[in-house]
Amino acid sequence: MPGRIEVTDIAFDALTLDGAVGRICQLARRRPASTVVTPNVDIVVLAHRDPRLRQAIAAATLVLADGQPIVWASRLRPPGLPGRVTGADLVPALAARAAQEGLSLFLCGAAPGVAERAAEELRRRHPSLRIVGVAAPPREELDSPALIEEINGARADILVLAFGAPIQEIWMERHRERLAVGVAIGAGAGIDFLAGVQRRAPAWMQRAGLEWAYRLAREPRRLWRRYLVRDPLFAWYLLRRLVRGRSAPQA
């Protein structure tokens, strides 16, 4: 396994998309459950304020960088991260590998009906893929024993969660010891993208680190505070970490 690289006190695994998919498929065959988180800039900022989220990230088996600014920041101290691994890219790539290796998926979260549509799309792409369950629990029932029983009863190898951050990350850490799955993944909007209820930014905007601008333009009233007020704090946390590192005594 490659090592981890710190960016503003969050340690990320230095994995490509292919490397992450391969590692997750290994974890999917083991018990008890492993957890995979995909922090973007917003999650990094939230983690600095929320000790529960920070603990969930620190305890995760894999921490993958879902955000081009995180990758750029990591390269201030070479070699840095090899690239970003977004939840939107991870879920379809993982489904393709799972179909080849006979691993099963459970899709949980998003709005009612969305996980079903995402499952239909994945089955269309990969007819041999085993999707053993879908669920869209209301927020007030996320911690219900009935949901854990439903997930465990399906005996899935891979649990894909779309509760939104930081709920999904904290939920995985809270329930990991009770989950009878191989690996649980916080996929963010990955299920929405598969179902077609959200559109991703053009590829050139993703490469340029401008996916946030695309989403802000589409949903300004909902997202302006996140992108224009909260997320710029990432630069402050990064600068503070760099200054602290330079001022540390040398061995």
Band of the pLDDT at 246, cuts 50, 70, 90? low
What pLDDT, in 10s, does the model give residues 213-224?
889 899 999 989
**Whether pLDDT at 4 is above 80:** yes
Closest CA to 97 of 195, 24, 192: 24
pLDDT for the residue 209: 85
Closest CA to 67 of 95, 97, 37: 37
Res. 249: pLDDT tops 80: no
Q: List, for residues 163-208, the tens digit of each pLDDT value.
A: 999 999 999 999 999 999 999 999 888 899 999 888 888 889 888 8
Q: Residue 251 — pLDDT band, cuts 50, 70, 90?
A: very low
Alpha carbon 75 to its chain centroid, in Å, reads 21
Can you give the pLDDT at residue 244?
79
Q: Which pLDDT score, from 0 to 100, does residue 190 have? A: 87
Q: State what percent of residues in the chain have pLDDT above 90.
A: 78
pLDDT tens-place string over residues 129-170: 999 999 999 999 999 999 999 999 999 999 999 999 999 999
Average pLDDT for residues 78-103, to the nearest whole number? 94
Question: What local confidence, expressed as pLDDT, does residue 151 receive?
Answer: 97
At 106 the three-state DSSP class reads: strand
pLDDT at 113 over 50: yes
**Residue at token pair 């598969």:** 194
- Across all residues in the chain, what is the average pLDDT? 92
Where helices occur in the chain by DSSP H, the ranges are 17-27, 41-49, 51-59, 68-74, 87-101, 114-125, 145-154, 167-175, 190-195, 203-207, 211-218, 220-225, 233-247
